Amino acid sequence: MAVFYLPQGREIEIFRHAWRSRLPLLVKGPTGCGKTRFIQHMAEALERPLITVSCNEDTSATDLLGRHLLLEGETRWSDGPVTRAVREGALLYLDEIAEARADAVVVIHSLSDHRRELFLDRTGETLEAPDDFMLVVSYNPGYQRSMREMKPSTRQRFVSLSFDFPAEENEVRIVAEESGVEPKIAERLVRIGRKIRHLHELSLLESASTRLLVAAGKLIAAGVPPRLACVAAVAEPLTDEPEALAAMRQVIELSI
Ligand SMILES: Nc1ncnc2c1ncn2[C@@H]1O[C@H](COP(=O)(O)OP(=O)(O)O)[C@@H](O)[C@H]1O
Ligand SMILES: [Mg+2]
């Protein structure tokens, strides 16, 4: 299998059952903990094409469904990613769905319940999703608490899986495998990550993720001195606050 994914629990089994039962899936968890990697792995395991949309506060229904384009004087309908995924029976992954505009979230309602239909108001078409089609959305519950949360009426439609940073041993294996550093170094990187995650007084918006530890490992594997690599790949991306940076530097210097 080309996409390396180390399971955290029984998520592969649940995903397979949801797919077979034609139920949509919600994966929640902090940034950089392996959600996207998991979906990529499952698309490959199920031999389905994967169509990913990274949602942001500008993502609208039109962006998802499609639009009429003027091409050489002619108007032509052009499918958006959601429409394309339904036509192809693909695995559709809407990353950070809670960020999207309300009209975009409404688009997925009829797709996420028993109807499994997509209504294109611009063309008057109703598409029925083929059996192979699956909708997966992700959501980061801790991210900017004051911002839009997912509405209960939307959430209730999804089978849901909670992700978190991998258990220590697993994270060491992931960092070693992904970055190419030796296990001893991976262990130290993971220790740094775990310590920073426990420094609540830093009040970071997001914490030292597996992704950042992998990035530090890659720099080290490329020959960057370990402390410098950790500051550049872990500490600096997390904050601009001098005090928080100093605290993280200290953790790094004590650990590697
Ligand atoms: N369980 C895992 N198996 C393999 N790699 C992982 C795993 N968890 C995290 N990673 C590594 O961390 C990186 C970030 O994970 P990603 O799936 O992009 O996070 P998210 O989508 O949750 O923000 C991946 O590119 C991969 O290198
Ligand atoms: Mg992701």
Q: Tell me the mean pLDDT in the region 60-64.
A: 96
Asked if residue 80 lies in contact with residue 63, where contact means CB atoms within 8 angstroms, the answer is yes
Range of the domain at 111: 11-162
Q: Are strands 66-71 and 125-128 parallel, antiparallel or unpaired?
A: unpaired
**Number of domains present in the structure of the chain:** 2
In angstroms, the CA 148 to CA 101 distance is 10
The answer as to whether 178 is a domain residue is yes
Residues 134 and 35 grouped into a single domain: yes
Out of 54, 205, 211, give the residue to mutate to test ligand 1, the one with the largest number of ligand atoms within 8 Å of its CB. Answer: 211
Q: Report how far ligand 2's centroid is from the alpha carbon of 111 (Å).
A: 22
Closest listed ligand to the CA of 31: 1
Residues 19 and 114 grouped into a single domain: yes
Paired tokens of 64: 């998802």
In angstroms, the CA 238 to CA 118 distance is 39
Asked if residue 217 lies in contact with residue 206, where contact means CB atoms within 8 angstroms, the answer is no
Res 140: pLDDT? 87
Q: Report how far ligand 2's centroid is from the alpha carbon of 92 (Å).
A: 13
**pTM recorded for the entire structure:** 0.94
Whether the predicted pLDDT of 52 surpasses 60? yes
Closest listed ligand to the CA of 95: 2
Residues 18 and 130 grouped into a single domain: yes
Asked if residue 5 lies in contact with residue 118, where contact means CB atoms within 8 angstroms, the answer is no
Closest listed ligand to the CA of 30: 1
Alpha carbon nearest to ligand 1 atom 6, residue = 34
Instruction: State pLDDT tens for residues 103-147.
Output: 998 888 899 988 999 999 999 999 999 999 999 999 888 765 434
Give the 3-state DSSP-derived string for 86-106, with helices as H, strands as E and coil as C.
HHHCCEEEEECHHHCCHHHHH
Q: Domain containing 122 — which CATH number? A: 3.40.50.300
Q: What is the CB < 6 Å shell around ligand 1?
A: 4-6, 29, 31-37, 166, 174, 178, 210-211, 214
Q: Report how far ligand 1's centroid is from the alpha carbon of 227 (Å).
A: 22
For the CA of 39, the closest atom of ligand 1 is: 17
Domain stops at, among 132, 162, 192: 162
Helical pair 183-198 and 242-255, crossing angle rounded to 10 deg: 140
Residues 156 and 184 grouped into a single domain: no
The answer as to whether 6 is a domain residue is no
Residues 106 and 33 grouped into a single domain: yes
Res 119: pLDDT? 95
Q: Are strands 74-79 and 117-120 parallel, antiparallel or unpaired?
A: unpaired
Sign of CA dihedral 144, 27, 165, 178: negative
Q: Report how far ligand 2's centroid is from the alpha carbon of 109 (Å).
A: 22
Domain stops at, among 162, 184, 201: 162
Instruction: State pLDDT tens for residues 8-32.
Output: 999 999 999 999 999 999 999 999 9
In angstroms, the CA 234 to CA 36 distance is 20
Amino acid code (one letter) for 33: C
Query: To 10 degrees, the CA torsion angle through 140, 144, 148, 154?
Result: 20
Residues 187 and 136 grouped into a single domain: no
The answer as to whether 1 is a domain residue is no
Residues 200 and 242 grouped into a single domain: yes
Asked if residue 61 lies in contact with residue 107, where contact means CB atoms within 8 angstroms, the answer is yes
Provide, rounded to the nearest whole percent, the portion of the chain with pLDDT above 70: 96
Alpha carbon nearest to ligand 1 atom 7, residue = 34
Which helix or strand (DSSP H or E) is residue 190 part of? helix 183-198
Residues 147 and 236 grouped into a single domain: no
28: Cβ–Cβ under 8 A, 6 or more apart, which residues? 138, 139, 140, 141, 160, 161, 162, 163
